[in-house]
Amino acid sequence: LHSEPLPPGRMEGCPWLGRISMFANMNKYISNQAAKAKVTETHDSAKPTRIWKMFCFGRPTAVVSGSAKIKQLLSREFKKEGGGVSQLTELGSSGMVEVLFGTESMTFETSDPKKYHMLQRLVGKAMTPESVAKGTPFLQKCAEEAVDDMLAKDTVVMADIFRRFTLDVAWRQIIGLKLNSNEEIASFRSAVKTWLGALTNYLLFMVPIPVRLMKRLPSYKAKMYLNKKFEERINELERNGPDGTTMSAMVFATDEEDGSTKLTRQQVIDNMFLLLVAGSETSSNTLTNVMLLLGMHPDVWDNV
């Protein structure tokens, strides 16, 4: 990243809160800022900028875009002697992180490089091409249902379609739940939506809140519902053995370096919450943006 220093100029907005406009829609705000950066902060107009800056969660923050730059940045994790990685877990109330998100997932290991890379290897075993291939029938079924849903109406909200699609992939293939009724599916979707709402509740990150009050929040109750589902699935897997789901791969994965280390029950659960974020909200946003771009470029849509 040395070849692309921070763009010139001051950071706008409140040093603690950032720009108020980002609270309404973070995705839209970041997209607009990135577009603005391409126009105003790039020295070479033919080359879009890959790094820009903003205030976020009380800190001056550099935002990096482009897969090559992101991989370059992530490759530096734990490379500096005595150093780790910095996460938003250091803000607001430490109790909030433990109560609403858990502290045993890969992303919240910020100080112990050995443990971090162990988690990375074991969680990664659940995401190999072979593991993903086992879930192809489930992915096909979810995709067909999403297409049928789109074609059944004259007008649809793509964000809703893809949110349901990614959540269906989550409960069927990532977790492996057996939800046998529309009511059970609706309860799962509602719990995930409520729990994810904590990610965009910036007060939780910035204001220390007593744990006893956090446990009264709808997001905490939703997390407890999901936690129970994860516990039940682990018990089922321990009784019946592997079944090809992502959770199954995590439960039975062993570390290649010593052949015996496995993820603890809590590490499986906390990393499943991590995958719920990565596998539902971020994926549905990406798919929605893809459809938006295809709609803006009919010639590309026709080729697809």
pLDDT in tens, 67-109: 777 777 777 766 665 555 555 555 555 667 777 888 888 888 7
The SS3 of residue 252 is helix
Which two structure tokens, joined as six digits, stand for 78?
Answer: 């734990």
Residue 1 pLDDT: 47
The average pLDDT across 4-13 equals 68
CB neighbours (10 Å) of residue 92?
19
Report the C-alpha dihedral over residues 118, 123, 129, 132, rounded to 10 degrees.
Answer: 170
Q: 42: which residues sit within 8 A by CB, 6+ positions away?
A: 7, 48, 49
Between the ranges 16-25, 51-60, 282-291, where is the mean pLDDT highest?
282-291
Which two structure tokens, joined as six digits, stand for 137?
Answer: 């029938």
Report the C-alpha dihedral over residues 250, 255, 260, 265, rounded to 10 degrees.
Answer: -30
Average pLDDT value over all residues in the chain: 80
CB 115 within 8 A of CB 106: no
The average pLDDT across 54-76 equals 73
The average pLDDT across 21-33 equals 69
Is the pLDDT higher at 95 or at 157? 157
CA–CA separation, 232 and 220 (whole Å): 18
The SS3 of residue 82 is coil
